[in-house]
Structure 1
Amino acid sequence: MTAAIQILRQMAAAEMKRKHTSYPENLTLPVKPYNDKTANGLTRCIIDFLKFSGWQAERINTTGRPVDRREIVTNVIGQKRQIGSVEWIRSGSTPGSADISATIRGRSVKIEVKIGSDRQSEAQIRYQQAIEKAGGIYIVARTFEQFYGWYQKTFN
C-alpha cells in the first residue's frame, strides 16, 4: 500500500468517526479498502480524497444509457420468444469529458483517469484544450500517488 493510500485511509477513518459520533471509542470503525489498480478504484480514491479535504468532486458519466426495446411475444402455436434489442442512447455530456469534475479552492478542476498504457482520445485532448483555454485545470491521473503529489504541489 502506498503512502498516499495510507493517508487516504486515515482521512476515511477520521470522516467515519466524525459521522458516527455514537460509535464506541474503544472499537475501530470499518474503513472500506482503497485500491488504485483499476479505473473505478482510482476514481473512488480521488473523489473521496477531495471530499474528505473539504472540496466538491463528482464522477461524470459519459457512457449514455441503455433503452430496452425487447419484448416477449407468443407465436400462433403458443411458443414464446424474445424480439427486439437493447439500444444505447448517447450521453448528453460534452464529447471527451473528463471522468471527474471538481472545484478546489474556487478553481474548476477536471481529472481524467487513465490506467496502464491507456491514452487520451482526440476528443479528450480537445476537451483538455478547451478547459485550459477557459482558465480551468486539467490533469490526467494514472495512480493515486501521482495525483496526491500533484495536489500537494498545486494546492498546498
Structure 2
Amino acid sequence: MCSLFDAIDKTIDDSRKGAVTALRAAHLQHLRNSSTMPDEELQSIAKNHTWTDKTANGLTKMIVAFLDYTGHYANRINTQGQAQVSEVGRYDVITGKLETTKRITGYRKSTTKKGTPDIDAIISGKPAKIEVKIGKDRMSKDQKKQKDKIERAGGMYYIAKDFLGFYTWYLQITKQK
C-alpha cells in the first residue's frame, strides 16, 4: 500500500522528470538548430547530457542553458573578486638556479554591486533576475535590498532552489501549462 508521503514523493519525482525532460527537449532543439550531425546522434547527446540541480553551480548552468535553448537571454554574473597572483623568484644556492613560484599577493574587489543576483535574463521581453540558493543558503541583506530595488523598477526576481521550482515559475510567467 502506498502512503500519502510516497504519493507526494512520486508526484514530485514525476514533476521533476517533466522539468528535466523540458530542458532535454530544449537542448535537443538547440543542437538540431546548430549542428549538421544526424538526428540520432543529437538525440543521444541530449539524452546523455548530465544535469544536476544539487549544487549552485549545476542549477545555475541548468537555468542559463534552458533559457538560452528556449530563445530567451540569460547571462551568468560573476560577482566575486579576483586574487592577485605574482611570481616570486628565489635563488637556490645548492642547484645554482633561480626558482619562481606563484603566490597570492592581494585581492581585487568585484566591480558589481553587493547583492547582485547570479543570473541576468530577459524572458519574453521582460527583465528577470535570478538568485540561486541551495540547501541552507539564505539571502544576505544586500541581496534583499537588490531584490526590492529590482522589483520596484519593474523587473522580475526569482529565488531558485531547484530546477523544478524554476521551471514552474517559468511556466507561470510565460503563461504556458
Alignment TM-score > 0.5, same fold: yes
Structure 1: gaps of 5 or more residues: none
Q: Is the counterpart of residue 38 in structure 1 residue 52 in structure 2? A: no
Quick check: which has more Rg, 1 or 2?
2
SS of structure 1 residue aligned to 2:45: coil
SS of structure 1 residue aligned to 2:60: helix
Normalised by the size of structure 1, how large is the TM-score? 0.89
Structure 2: gaps of 5 or more residues: 1-15
**CA deviation digits over 1:85-115, x for unaligned, max 9?**
3422111001110000001122111000000
Given that 2:73 and 2:123 are in contact with CA atoms closer than 8 Å, whether structure 1 keeps it comes out as yes
Match of 2:81 in 1: 64
> Which amino acid in 2 is paired with 1:50?
L
Match of 1:24 in 2: 38
SS of structure 1 residue aligned to 2:71: coil
State the shift of 1:17 in Å: 1.5
**CA deviation digits over 1:18-53, x for unaligned, max 9?**
211x31244444122211111111001111111111
Determine the C-alpha separation between the residues in 2 that align with 1:58 and 1:107.
Answer: 14
Q: Is the counterpart of residue 152 in structure 1 residue 171 in structure 2? A: yes
Normalised by the size of structure 2, how large is the TM-score? 0.79
Cα distance change on mapping 1:83 and 1:55 into 2, 3 Å:
closer
Q: Is the counterpart of residue 14 in structure 1 residue 29 in structure 2? A: yes
Matching residue within 10, 13, 17 for 1:2: 17
Determine the C-alpha separation between the residues in 1 that align with 2:26 and 2:156.
Answer: 24
Matching residue within 108, 116, 126 for 1:97: 116
RMSD between superposed Cα atoms in Å: 2.1
> Which amino acid in 2 is paired with 1:107?
K
Given that 1:115 and 1:142 are in contact with CA atoms closer than 8 Å, whether structure 2 keeps it comes out as yes
**CA deviation digits over 1:49-90, x for unaligned, max 9?**
111111110000001122112412226775757585342211
Equivalent pairs counted in the alignment come to: 155
